[in-house]
Chain A
Amino acid sequence: MSVLQAEKLSLSYDTTPIIHSLDLETPSGQITALIGPNGCGKSTLLRGLARLLKPKVGSVLLNGLAIQTIPTKQLAKELGILPQSPVAPEGITVRELVAQGRYPHQDWFQQWSHADEEALQKALTLTTLTHLTDRAVDTLSGGQRQRAWIAMALAQETDILLLDEPTTYLDLAHQLEVLELLVKLNQEGKTIIMVLHDLNHAAHYADHLVALADGRISAQGTSHEVITEEIIRDVFGVESQVIPHPITGKPLCLPLRRKQ
C-alpha cells in the first residue's frame, strides 16, 4: 500500500507563493478530502502532490522517495491524477479515452497487450460504462463524462488516485453518482485524495479531512474533528451551526451568515 506525504512543502505559481512549508501525511487506503475557501491553495496542493507543480522547497514523498526522483512513467503506475473539468478531444470515444489510461504501461512495441484489454474492460465495468463504450465522449451527460474520465484514471491501475473537484458542474444526482463511485473504488483498495467544495459531501464521503487556509493546514482529522462551528468560522469566515445528520450521524454544516 503506497503512502503519499508532503514534507515542508512550499509551492508557488511563478513568484506567488501559495503553499507554505506544509507537512501532510495522507492515510493510505482511505478517502482524504482537501477543503477550504477559494484561493486557499487546495488545488495547488493537489497539483503539487501529483508532481504537476515542482516544489520550491521541501518535497512530496511516495513511500519515502521524493516523487521528482522517480521516473515519470514509474510514478504514473502508482499515482493517477484527474484535473478539474478536463476536456476530451472532439469525437473521441469512451473506449479510446479510457485506453489512454494504459499509457504508462505501454511502449512502442507493446501497444495493446492482454493486460491492457483487461484493465480497459475492468475500468468500464466499475464505472458502468460498458453500454456506452463506443459513444463519443462529447455526446454523454456530465455525469457519464466524468465517469469516463475516472475510468481512464482507473485503467492506469494506480494505488492512489488524486482528483480535483470531481463534482464541479454536475447536478446533485450526478455529484452523488461520482462520489458513490469513488467510495466503491476505495472499498476495492484505492487510496483517494480529492479536493471538494461541498463540506457536507466531504463530511459524508471522506474518512480524513484536511482544511486549508492561506496555504497552511488549519485542521485535519475525521469529519467530527474538522467540521465544527469554530473551524468553519476560522477557515471560511462563516458563522454556522453544525448538527449531526439525522440518519448518518455525520456532522452537517448549516451556514448562517458571514463572520461579522
Chain B
Amino acid sequence: MSASPWIVVRANKFSIRMDRRIPFVLGGLLLAAFLVLILHVGIGEYNIAPLDVVNTLLGRELGDKNYHFVVMELRLPRAILAWLVGAALGASGAIIQGLTRNPLASPDLTGVTAGASAAAVTLIIFLPHAPDYWLPITAFGGGVFVALMLYLFAWRGGTSAGGDSPIRLILVGIGLSAALGAFTSFALTFGDLWHVQSAIMWLAGTVYATGWNDVSALLPWLIVCLPLALYGARDLNALNLGEDVAQGLGLRLILKRAFLLLLSVALAAITVTVAGIIGFVGLIAPHLARRLVGSMHEGLVPTAAFAGGFLVILADFVGRTISPPTEIPAGIVIAIIGVPFFLYLLWKREKA
C-alpha cells in the first residue's frame, strides 16, 4: 500500500485532514500574488524599484517622500482589492460548481453577478441617497433573485442522474443575464445623468480608482464568508457524489444546498459592489485549483480562492501596464483568456 497522500492533525477530540499538496499550493499561489503585487505597486507613471516597494510596505522611511503616498494610498489598495475580489469569485465558483456538479457553472455564467449588478444599478440611479451599506445588501438581493430563478427554471429535476443537464443551467443563466443586462441598460438610459455616470464607473469590471474604503467594505464579508465556505467543504464533497448519495450519508439536502447557494451568491454579489462584473474568474479558478489539489473541497475552496486572487491581481496589473496611459479593465483582460477556456470546456464536454 502506498503512503497516505493526506496530512492528518489530531489533538484530543479535534482532527482534520488535508491533501499533502495543499500547503505548498496555497503558499505558492500566495507568493506568486505577492510578486505580482510588488510589480503592480512599483510600475506605472511613477516607477518605484521592487526593493523600495518592499521597504515602503514594511514602513521604512526612504529618501523619496512620494513613495509612501504612491504605494500606500494610490496603488496598494487597488492591488489588494483586486486580489480580494478574485478570491471571493474563485471561492464562489468552486462552491457553485460543487453544488451543481456542473463544471460550467460560475457566478457570471449563471447570471448571479448580472442580477447583483442590475439591483445595484437600480439602487444607485433611483435611490441615490440611500446609505452606503444598502449597496452590498441590494446586490446580494439581486443575486439571490437570480439564484431563485435558476432554481425554478433549471434545477427542478435535481442535479443527479436523470436531472437537468449542465448545459441547461448555463442556457437559463445566459438568458437571465441578457434580460438583466437589458434592464440595466434601461435604467442607465432613463436615469439621471449624474447618477448614471457613477453607475457606469464600476459596471465595466474594473478596480480602477479604488481606495482603502473599498477594501474595508469588502473585507468583513470575506472574513465571514470564506470560513463558512471552508465549513461547507465537507457538505460540498458529499453533494458532489450526487444528491441520493449525499442524502444517504445523512446530509440535510435542502438546508445545506440553500446555505451553500446563498454563500456562493453572497461572495459573488459583494465583488460586484466594489468592482463591477469581472467574468470568468469564477469559472477558471476552480478548474485551475482542481488541477493543483484534486476534487476535495477542503482543499479546492481555498485553492480556488487563492487562484482567483492571483488571476485578478495579474489581470489588473497587465491591464494597467500593457499600453499606458490607457488602462484595460481587469475584467476584459480575464475575458481574453476566459472565453477560449470556456469554449474549450464546452468542446471537451461535447467529446465526452
Chain B residues in 8 Å Cβ range of A114: 10
Give the docked Cα–Cα distance between A79 and B247 (Å): 11
CB distance from B98 to the nearest CB of A (A): 8
- B250's nearest neighbour on chain A, judged by CB, is A76
Query: In the complex, what distance in Å separates the CA atom of A87 from the CA atom of B290?
Result: 17
Flag the segment in B76-84, B120-128, B211-219, B232-240 that touches A.
Answer: B232-240
Which residues of chain A are near B166, meaning CB under 8 Å?
none
Residues of A within 8 A of B1 (CB): 130-131, 133
Cβ of A19 to closest chain B Cβ, rounded Å: 17
A88 at the interface (CB under 8 A from B): yes
B248 adjacent to A80 (CB under 8 Å): yes
> In the complex, what's the smallest C-beta–C-beta distance from A73 to chain B, in angstroms?
4
The answer to whether the Cβ of A106 comes within 8 Å of any Cβ in the partner chain is yes
Min CB distance A163 to B, Å, is: 11
A63 shortest CB reach to chain B, Å? 17
Contact A75 B250 (CB under 8 A): yes
B241: Cβ under 8 A from any A Cβ: yes
Find chain A residues with CB under 8 A from B14 CB. 109-110
Q: Decide: B248 and A50 in contact? CB cutoff 8 A.
A: yes
In the complex, per-residue mask of A95-114: 1 if CB is within 8 Å of any chain B CB, else 0: 11100110110101111111
A72 B252 Cβ-Cβ under 8 A = yes
B234 touching A83, Cβ below 8 Å: no
Flag whether A249 is at the interface (Cβ < 8 A). Answer: no
A96 contact set on B, CB distance < 8 A: 294-296
Query: Contacts A110-B13, A112-B8, A112-B10 known; A156 to B249 CB distance under 8 Å?
Result: yes
In the complex, the chain B residue whose C-beta lies closest to that of A72 is B250
Please tell me which one of the listed residues A77, A81, A100 contacts residue B237 in the complex, with CB atoms under 8 A apart.
Answer: A100
Which of B1, B2, B250 counts the most A-chain CB atoms under 10 A from its CB? B250
Q: Which of A77, A109, A152, A153 contacts B13 (CB 8 A)?
A: A109
Judge if B259 is at the interface, Cβ distance under 8 Å. Answer: no
Q: How many A-B residue pairs have CB under 8 A?
A: 112
CB–CB A111/B17 < 8 A? yes
> Contact between A93 and B249 (Cβ–Cβ < 8 Å)?
no
CB distance from A114 to the nearest CB of B (A): 7
- Taking the closest CB of chain A, its distance from the CB of B89, in whole angstroms, is 21
A134 close to B (CB within 8 Å): yes
B58 is an interface residue with CB less than 8 A from chain A: no
Across the interface, do B15 and A112 meet the contact criterion of CB distance under 8 Å?
yes
Across the interface, B250 reaches (CB within 8 A) one of A47, A52, A103, A152, namely A103
Identify which of residues 121-168 in chain A touch chain B, using a CB-to-CB cut-off of 8 Å: 130-131, 133-134, 152-153, 156
Interface residue A89 (Cβ < 8 Å from any Cβ of B):
yes
Mark each residue of chain B from 181 to 218: 1 if its CB lies under 8 Å from any CB of chain A, else 0. Answer: 00000000000000000000000000000000000000
| Residue contact B245 to A83, C-beta cutoff 8 Å | yes
Q: In the complex, what distance in Å separates the CA atom of A74 from the CA atom of B247?
A: 12
* Number of chain B residues close to chain A: CB under 8 A: 36
Chain B residues closer than 8 Å to A117, beta-carbon distance:
8
Nearest B residue (CB) for A104: B250
Judge whether A77 and B250 touch: CB under 8 Å.
Answer: yes
B5 interface hit (Cβ, 8 Å): yes
The residue on B at minimum CB distance from A158 is: B248
User: Complex formed: what's the CA distance from A66 to B294 in Å?
Assistant: 39
The docked-state distance in angstroms from the alpha carbon of A56 to that of B187 is 48
A89 touches B249 (CB 8 A): no
Chain A neighbourhood of B179, CB < 8 A:
none
Binary interface encoding of chain A residues 29-53 relative to chain B, with 1 for a CB under 8 A from any of its CBs, else 0 = 0000000000000000001001110
Which listed residue, B13, B237, B249, touches A104 by the CB 8 Å rule?
A: B249
B16 interface residue per 8 A CB criterion = yes
User: Shortest beta-carbon distance, B173 to chain A, in Å?
Assistant: 21
A90 within 8 A of B: yes
Instruction: Assess whether A95 is in contact with B244, with CB atoms less than 8 Å apart.
Output: no
Roughly how many angstroms separate A51 CA and B253 CA in the complex, as a whole number? 12
Q: A246 near B: Cβ within 8 Å?
A: no
**Contact partner, A76, options B101, B244, B248, B298, Cβ 8 Å:** B248
Q: Is A92 interfacial (CB-CB < 8 Å)? A: yes
Nearest Cβ in chain A — how far from B159, in angstroms?
A: 11
Q: Are B244 and A103 in contact, CB atoms less than 8 angstroms apart?
A: no
Tell me, yes or no, whether B161 is within 8 Å of chain A by CB.
Answer: yes
CB nearest to B230 among chain A residues: A108
Q: With an 8 A cutoff between CB atoms, is B242 at the interface?
A: yes
Cα of A47 to Cα of B161 in the assembled complex, Å? 14
Residues in B lying within 8 Å of A, measured CB to CB: 1-2, 4-6, 8, 10, 13-17, 101, 103, 160-161, 231, 234, 237-238, 240-242, 244-245, 247-252, 290, 294-296, 298
Can you give 20 contacting A-B residue pairs, CB < 8 Å?
A52-B244, A72-B252, A76-B248, A77-B250, A81-B247, A85-B161, A86-B241, A89-B241, A91-B295, A92-B295, A100-B245, A103-B237, A103-B238, A104-B249, A106-B234, A108-B234, A110-B15, A111-B15, A113-B10, A133-B2
Question: Known pairs A91-B290, A91-B294. 4 more at Cβ < 8 A?
Answer: A51-B247, A112-B15, A112-B16, A130-B1
